[in-house]
Amino acid sequence: MDTDRTTTPDRKQEARMSTVELTKDNFDEIVSGNDFVLIDFWAEWCGPCKSFGPIFERSSEKHDDLVFAKVDTEAQPELAQAFQIQSIPTVMIVRDNIAVFAQPGALPEAALEDVIDQARKLDMDEVRASVAEAQQAGQEQQAQG
């Protein structure tokens, strides 16, 4: 029957094609609940943010297996402060709850695609080991200080 054409996976895919708005209320749920999240920190008054928005949106349509999310820094100052966002737009990639990329400035489309490709290729076991080493070194430095 034709009535069964719209299945749950199709709806899920459609939902993923557009970006998700991140707020302090849903941030942990979305970032913790997904393996790979691209975040665009932006504001309505920001010219470069407006020019980067369509690039981010087109990329979300190409990568429907990833979560694309936006944080309006004016509406969500706590999130901007928590991530020490000092310039917008800033693009951040979080894989397995670890920020693996963060860069201020509007990326050209090819650069954004390259960053996504590099982040996909990361060996997350190596990243976790590196994070653990950095945390250990920081604790040792604190103990000495």
Cβ–Cβ < 8 Å for 53, 88: no
Q: What DSSP state is assigned to residue 43?
A: -
Catalytic residue among 22, 38, 46, 112: 46
Phi, psi of 116 (to 5 degrees): -60, -45
- Show the tokens assigned to 34: 């997904």
| Distance of alpha carbon 77 from alpha carbon 133, whole angstroms | 31
Is 46 considered catalytic here?
yes
Catalytic residue among 22, 49, 106, 115: 49
Is 97 considered catalytic here?
no
Active site residues: 46, 49
